[in-house]
Homo-oligomer: A and B are copies of this chain.
């Protein structure tokens, strides 16, 4: 089934559901799924509406223009996503393979609706994984000149028409231009239950603090390190037997699950960002 999904947010007021669904009804759409959220604290309304494209005669351009005209009256903040416009997703890694493998396997088993045109790393170690799955691999070491490396990354992403950038254990802080170019389209996995254990060596920190659970957090990247809007988190129980190395091993399973869920939610257009918070329609 071909579908189109709209993600919408605006100031809340009476009649919104009715007016928006009426708009789509008049245009001949059948609603496949409609989810909403109202945040009374900030008087804001959020909607995810997924529509069947079957039997729709209008061109996509027309749909977009009509909705834009409709939306401007409120105004609505919105985005529109056709199910067959498969997102081009680039993955950045350093040396650890577990998240990369996990994403590639899910992609291969059609759990993730995307194309993966390239993998970028600052180290050569994971080239073999890329080649197992026949995906172009670019090794761009950072060296002395971080800025020129990032320019190179940006060029590669642009040339490959990348829509979504996933940091699957890329162990460097990105520069401001990359971050702003991929605002709300740049997902990172942090190996701790944020906001606990920000920064480096979270498993060592967790060990020393003697916590009884460890976690991982997937979030959109912003200018502030480990402070971007959280998409997904999970934890696993640990105990005094687990030294930092074992926490790291247990953490790997959490990291890959959490990152995969976040990427999947993004690709299925389930996420709306509002300030530092995300609405993730399940």
Residues in A lying within 8 Å of B, measured CB to CB = 14-18, 21-22, 24-25, 30-41, 97-98, 101, 105, 109, 111, 132, 193-197, 208-213, 215, 229-235, 239-241, 243, 249, 253, 257, 276-280, 282
Known A-B contacts A34-B36, A193-B193; A240 and B280 likewise in contact (beta carbons under 8 Å): yes
What residues of B have a CB within 8 angstroms of the CB of A213 in the complex? 193, 215, 233-235
What residues of B have a CB within 8 angstroms of the CB of A194 in the complex? 196, 209, 211
Q: Is the CB of B41 within 8 A of A17?
A: no
Q: Is the CB of A212 within 8 A of B240?
A: no
What residues of B have a CB within 8 angstroms of the CB of A109 in the complex? 97-98
Interface centre among A16, A31, A229, A277, by most chain B C-beta atoms within 10 angstroms, is: A31
Copies in the complex: 4
Which residue of chain B lies nearest to A244 when distances are taken between CB atoms in the complex? B41
Q: Is the CB of B280 within 8 A of A239?
A: yes
Query: How many Å from the CB of A168 to the closest CB on chain B?
Result: 14
Q: Is the CB of A230 within 8 A of B243?
A: no
A243 contacts which of B22, B31, B41, B105 (Cβ < 8 Å)? B41
Q: Is the CB of B233 within 8 A of A212?
A: yes
Q: Is the CB of A33 within 8 A of B38?
A: yes
Which residue of chain B lies nearest to A230 when distances are taken between CB atoms in the complex? B210
What residues of B have a CB within 8 angstroms of the CB of A240 in the complex? 37, 39, 277-280
Task: Return 6 A-B CB contacts under 8 Å, by A number.
Answer: A34-B36, A37-B241, A97-B105, A208-B276, A210-B278, A241-B282
Query: How many Å from the CB of A270 to the closest CB on chain B?
Result: 11
Which residue of chain B lies nearest to A253 when distances are taken between CB atoms in the complex? B257
What residues of B have a CB within 8 angstroms of the CB of A232 in the complex? 212
Query: How many Å from the CB of A192 to the closest CB on chain B?
Result: 9
Query: How many Å from the CB of A239 to the closest CB on chain B?
Result: 7
A209 contacts which of B17, B18, B195 (Cβ < 8 Å)? B195
Q: Is the CB of A24 within 8 A of B32?
A: no
A98 contacts which of B105, B209, B229, B280 (Cβ < 8 Å)? B105
Q: Is the CB of A209 within 8 A of B276?
A: yes
Which residue of chain B lies nearest to A25 when distances are taken between CB atoms in the complex? B18
A215 to B98 Cα, complex, angstroms: 23
A21 contacts which of B18, B38, B97, B230 (Cβ < 8 Å)? B18
What residues of B have a CB within 8 angstroms of the CB of A234 in the complex? 213
What residues of B have a CB within 8 angstroms of the CB of A193 in the complex? 193, 196, 213
What residues of B have a CB within 8 angstroms of the CB of A209 in the complex? 194-195, 230, 276
A105 to B15 Cα, complex, angstroms: 39
Which residue of chain B lies nearest to A37 when distances are taken between CB atoms in the complex? B240
A17 to B193 Cα, complex, angstroms: 37
